[in-house]
Amino acid sequence: MQFILEIKQILAQARQKSYQAINSAMVEAYWSIGQRIVREEQNGNERAAYGEAILKELSIALTTEFGKGFSYANLRNFRQFYLTYPDFSICYTLCSKLTWSHNRLIMRVNEPKARAYYLQEAATQNWTVRILERNINSLMHKRLLSQADQQIKDFVKITDLKDFIKDPYVFEFLNIDQPEKATESEVEAALIKNLQSFLLELGKGFSFVARQFRISTETSHFYIDLVFYNYLLKCFVIFDLKTTKLSHQDVGQLDMYVRMFDDLKKQTDDNPTIGILLCAEKDETIVKYSVLNENKHLFATKYLPYLPTEQELIDEIEREKAMLNLRNNSDE
């Protein structure tokens, strides 16, 4: 009955509001405990030894009265939470929307701008703890082209296409034996099979439209590997997948696909279509001297079929950033 469903919905919403209120209160309480611990430590003559002693004593007292959750390690986390955000009013709105597990992960990110990014995205995109940890480990904020271009962004307001596009993309979820030797059709099939993970890696606003999307003229049929729509950018985003080294023929083909899509499929209220070449290997000469260097809606980005170590990923990002800066300087 509709009546019963409506009552269930009212109760479910009330429970969710109660959970959010309790979570918000506890996160604020943990910050306040951290603040009080720091102030108490600062009153001690031998701060390090004194701090360790009061944390152990406090842990025993709180655990006795309130139960689990107040171990020595957790109290150290509360202290770090306060030290990370000494002015809680600045981040309260976002921190209070996230669980303590979310906040504990984010506060371990050293770079303030990176912390701000993960705080904003985790809260607004409803990332689970698992997704947040994966995005931190894969250095998502550093892989955005806007970061590689050294543009300082307000992460609340999106103003540039490069805020939506990464280089490199990381597809560790493909589950393909010897992914470096996989064909384009195998990689494409694996991406679709793991569509939820693929969408999460693409970022916010993406919705899947079709695989092998047929676009036809009066004389020919063409098939685009992957087509998405981004409701924030209000445009189609088409992907052409290349498991071999990027060639000028690939660039020309993507340019043609984008032009055809704009002409035949784009609606009047849509923004211009974005085309992305997902490449196993990029040739910077091709990128520099092709239409990719001029067309602001065409991009060539590398994909990694595995999650590299943090240092390997940083090295890859730095290489891409250096090449991008080199191209930009040569154009001046």
Residues 112-144 have pLDDT tens digits of 999 999 999 999 999 999 999 999 999 998 888
**Average pLDDT score over residue span 38-64:** 77
Q: Output phi, psi for 223, to 5 deg.
A: -125, 120
Residue 15 is predicted with a pLDDT of: 85
Average pLDDT over residues 60-75: 90
Residue 1: the pLDDT is: 75
Q: Higher-confidence residue: 1 or 228?
A: 228
User: The dihedral of CA 5, 7, 11, 16: what is its sign?
Assistant: positive
Average pLDDT rounded to a whole number, residues 48-52: 65
pLDDT computed for residue 192 by the predictor: 95
- Contact by Cβ (8 Å): 276, 228: no
CB atoms within 10 A of CB 73: 9
Between 246 and 224, the more confident residue is: 224
- DSSP assignment letter at 43: T
Domain 145-331 has CATH 3.40.1350.10: yes
> What is the average pLDDT across 301-314?
87
pLDDT of 149 strictly over 60: no
- Whether 51 shows a pLDDT value over 70: the answer reads no
Contact residues for 39 (Cβ-Cβ < 8 A; gap 6+)? none
Say yes or no to pLDDT of 179 above 50: yes
Residue 55 — pLDDT band, cuts 50, 70, 90?
A: confident
* Residue 157 pLDDT level (bands cut at 50, 70, 90): very low
Quote the pLDDT of residue 148: 47
Q: How many Cβ atoms sit within 10 Å of the Cβ of residue 225?
A: 21
- pLDDT of the residue at 48: 56
pLDDT at 190 over 90: yes
Tokens representing residue 197 in the block: 């993970």
pLDDT at 315: 85
In this model, does residue 204 exceed pLDDT 80? Answer: yes
Residues 287 and 282: their CA atoms lie apart, in Å, by 8
pLDDT value at residue 329: 60
Q: What angle do CA 150, 151, 156 make, to 5 degrees?
A: 135
Spell out the domain ranges in the chain. Answer: 1-84, 96-137, 145-331
Q: What are phi and psi of 225, to 5 degrees?
A: -55, -60
- DSSP 8-state assignment for residue 181: G
Q: pLDDT value at position 152? A: 35
Q: Average of pLDDT values for 214-228?
A: 91
Choice among 72-76, 245-249, 275-279 with the minimum mean pLDDT:
245-249
CA-based torsion, 92, 94, 95, 99: positive or negative: positive
Report the pLDDT averaged over residues 221-236: 93
Q: What is the mean pLDDT of the chain?
A: 86
> Taking 90 as the threshold, does the pLDDT of residue 44 lie above it?
no
Q: What is the pTM of this model?
A: 0.79
Average pLDDT over residues 324-328: 62
Q: Residue 314: what pLDDT?
A: 85
- Cβ atoms 106, 115 nearer than 8 A: yes
